[in-house]
Amino acid sequence: MPFDPYLGERISGSLKLHKVEFEAKKMMGGLVFMVQGKMACGIHIDKKLGHSLLMARIGEKAYAEEIKKQHCLPMDFTGRPMKGYLFVMPEGFDLDDDLDYWISKVLEFNRSLVA
């Protein structure tokens, strides 16, 4: 299984609660959620850790604070961190309120982007 389908359902549910249109696309063995045609968040399997990570595109400003949190990692699956993106380990999104926190951050940044 390339990614956790249950996490995909949870992300979809959270996006629906926020009343935004989105599209889910399978990419690079994971699942990416597009909002307003832009990558917003997704699921990535970390082969070293052996579990699904939440990928969150939150922008560089929010990244500077959020990366300090215990369950956050730089998004660097290519070996080079991507600016404004981070990975959240399962402990950071296990609870629905925690997942909703990240979805809110993702949508806040997504709204700031020019179409």
User: Based on the number of CB atoms within 10 Å of its own CB, is 112 exposed (0-12), middle (13-18) or buried (19 or more)?
Assistant: exposed
Q: Which CATH architecture has domain 5-110?
A: Alpha-Beta Complex (3.90)
Residue-level pLDDT, tens digit, the chain, 115 residues: 477 889 999 999 999 999 999 999 998 778 999 999 999 999 988 877 778 999 999 999 999 999 999 999 999 877 788 899 999 999 999 999 999 999 999 999 999 987 5
Query: What are the residue ranges spanned by the domains of the chain?
Result: 5-110
